[in-house]
Structures are given as structure tokens and as C-alpha cells.
Chain A
């Protein structure tokens, strides 16, 4: 079942002549883990902003085409209405956080849903523990580090338990191990609870292994789309300027040199190591 359908979308920010999204059609099935990548300025963030109606309701501008979320046209719904279905973690956490304490920030969305105090307490603690910042709950969001702010932003979206989570480079300020832990948490929610995940990332070495649907954008358009195993061995990926995981790159080079390795494109070090062990210990 499609949870998101985008048809012939063209979007231009106010006061700008060139469209940021230039003819995008896209279907996201329920429970998919979608990874969107592409050069900076290619329209990834703008596309994310359409999923919960921030475009066009907040950003205004000119929008043509259709965005359907759970069968409903986003342009006909209010952003606060969409927030129950679609949680968006912004690229810059500072644009998202405003409360005087971390836990108040995480509780804010729930308060607006009119949730009971007990249920709110449970959800907030659950979300804080999930991303590992329970200890920070009484700190001011603007005093904690960039990486910790990102975790607060993720927790506040997870607490809402939306059907669809959209994350725009959500771990860019986090150290690699913390980033990996966050991705694992999100992957687990995707696998166990069937939450649809849409993740924007440049660092495919960290994230390609989680995705079953990879979208490569360039200049406001989708130029490649499909299973990451198929897409990442495509010659065009490198030309667009996508950073191919090093394991995938090494596999490609070895294949070209006639090294007897399994032809399936690996997405992470575990997959490549297994292939190489097999090739070398025959």
C-alpha cells in the first residue's frame, strides 16, 4: 500500500525563478526504508518539506502537481493535522528546538495532541531513553552540544509515534558511533513496528545497508531509483557525485581487475568481508 504518492511535482520558493523540485513523481510503500541522496542543493530537503505540508503551507511559493499522504492531498490539509502522521526531523536542530528543558521540548507535540499527563510522561521517557538522552531531560536544549540537540529533535519526533518518519541528515553533528546507534534505533522501529522511514543522507557508507529503496536526486529531479544493491553499481551514480560506500567501491574495482569475487554489490563492510573470505579461502 502506498503511504506517499507524489505526482508531477514542481515547486518554486517565493522570490526564486528556478524550481527547487522540477517534475518529481514518487511512490513510497508502507513500511519501506527510503534513502534519498544527491548533491547538495538538489532538492532533497525541499522534497521532505512537502511530505508534512511545510511546503507549501509555511514556505508558500508556487506548487504544481500532487502530494498524497495516506491517500489525502497534503495541500488540502493543515500542517498540524499532518504532524500526527508525518514526523519531520530538521537538518538544523536549532530550528526545531525552543523549550526551556529537553523534556518539555519532547513533550510539546504530545501536549498539542491533548494527551493525558501519564501517557505523556511514558512517551517522553520512552523516546528519551531510545536515543540515549534521558540524563539530559532537565537541561536547556540550547545549552547542549549540536549532536545532543539532534538527539532531542529525533526524540521529540519519535515521541509522537508517527506512521512516517522523515529525517533530514539527522545525525550530521553526531560522532560516528552515536550516529550508528541512532540509525539502529530507527531501523528497529522500521523493522518491528512497520514505521515508514524516509532518510536524507550523503553518507551512504553509514546508511545504505538499512535501505530497501534508494532515490538519487540531481537538479530537482529523481535520476535513479530502486534497490540500493542495483543502484550503487550503476555507472551513473559516481557521475552524479554520490559518495559510494568504500566497501562498494573496492568491490567494483576488484571485479574490474577480474578478482574472483561474488558479483553481488555489497553495501557494507560485513557483506564485502564475507564475500572476500569466501573468495580467498576456497
Chain B
């Protein structure tokens, strides 16, 4: 996370070799990115761009999703299976034969995501995956990220969506002016007003509420709605209002 121009997108473009370091070393699975090709890295590291229009080009949604699978040499049966799975998973089945360019902004973003999820990379790099997504789609994405984590896969996400981060509860790295300025669990990073302000990020809404309640003895490091409810009810009981 970090403000516009902090270097987040530039950093993650090093993870699949789209950018190579001017100095220093980037290793992906112990291989230096300068010593291998983007094509090799792409199979390991799936990258979903911020703007889907920079990524989509096929005539139908189905072709778009099948494109990488064909390039990686999967057989036809596997390609069909994976494409169908990705379409269903991202609620795009009805658009199978539609041109991606006839879809809405949020739907195009999902096509871009589907085209990468389809080949099941070990590492997934998502640049602003929640842009234009409604609540239901975001919840699905969150569930999927949890599932990937359970499969011991790595997910790197760039996002400005504080509420989504509060829900996913990942390790958070804050960037500012091309440098990393903080790295830690979301619960500690997202409840540090000073750090966040330096990075042009606002506190999660629940944390904002609790910052204002701190003077009456409530904890100021709460990011989650259920956690908030428990703390408030405990406080009310303590005051015998409840």
C-alpha cells in the first residue's frame, strides 16, 4: 500500500521480470530475474494489471482466458476445463462468447483476473484487484485469496482499498517515495494513523470510530466490525447500560 507514485506498481513489475533491476538483485524462486525470461517467469508468477484494457485483446472472453493456457501448451481438454472453471468462478459464464470490450469496467477487470487464475500460477500478483468490483465480487475474491493461502500459494496485492485489506488481514508493506517504510501485520499497520497519513491512506472506518472512542477507555486498534461489536458491548456492560 502507499500513495500514488510511491513505486508499488514498479516494484511488483519486477516479480515477473517485466522490469529488471537497474542495480540490486530480484530473485523469484531463487532465480535471478535478470538471468531468465519473462516467459519463464510468467508461468510461475501470474500478473493482473491495474487497468484491464492494457491486458485484454481477444475477440471473445473465452479466447482471452484460453490464450495463456494455449501458450503454456496445455491439452485441449485441460484448457476447456480450466476456462469453464474460471468463467464460473468469476460469474462470467454468460459472457463466454462476448467480446471483452462490450463488458462493463468491473466485468473486464474480472476477465483479466480469470485469464490469469486459469493457469493456476504458484504466485499471484494483483494490481488493484478490487477496482470497480461490487461487494459480492470482493467477498468472492477474499474467499479465493484465503483458499490460495491454504494451498500455500503466495498472493501479492497492491491496493488502496483499506476496507478490503482490513477484511483480508494480510501482511502489509507500506511504500513511500520508492522506499518501504513499514512492514507488519495489518492490525498493527492499519491502526497507525501517522504511518498511514504519510502514505496518503485513511484509517479503516471502524478504526476511525474507535480512535474517537479512545478517550472513554476503548481500544484504538480495532479494524473489524465483529471485534468492534464485542468491545462495545463489553464496555456497555461495564457501564451497566446493557
Residue numbers of A with Cβ under 8 A of B are 13, 15-16, 38-41, 45, 91-92, 94, 145-148, 169, 172-180, 202-203, 205, 241-247, 249-250, 253-254, 257-260, 268-270, 272-273, 276-277, 279-282
Contacts and interface: CB of A to CB of B under 8 A. Distances in A.
Interface of B: 2-5, 9, 50-51, 53, 102-107, 110, 128, 131-138, 160-163, 166, 197, 199-202, 204-206, 208-209, 212-213, 216, 225-226, 228-229, 232-233, 235-236, 239, 241-242
A15 B5 CA distance: 40
Contacts of A254: 229, 232-233
Given A13-B102, A276-B232, A40 B216 contact: no
Main secondary structure, interface of B, reads helix
B224 to A, nearest CB: 9
Nearest to A40: B106
Contacts of A145: 4-5, 9
B209 A250 contact: yes
Contact of B216 (A45, A172, A177, A281): A281
A92 B53 contact: yes
Contacts of A15: 102
A253 B160 contact: no
Q: Which 3 A-B pairs have the closest CB atoms?
A: A40-B106, A269-B208, A243-B135
A92 B232 contact: no
B213 A273 contact: yes
A45 B104 contact: yes
A280 B235 contact: yes
A145 B213 CA distance: 37
B3 A178 contact: yes
Given A176-B201, A247-B205, 12 more contacts: A15-B102, A38-B134, A40-B105, A40-B134, A45-B105, A175-B160, A178-B3, A249-B225, A259-B233, A273-B213, A279-B241, A280-B239
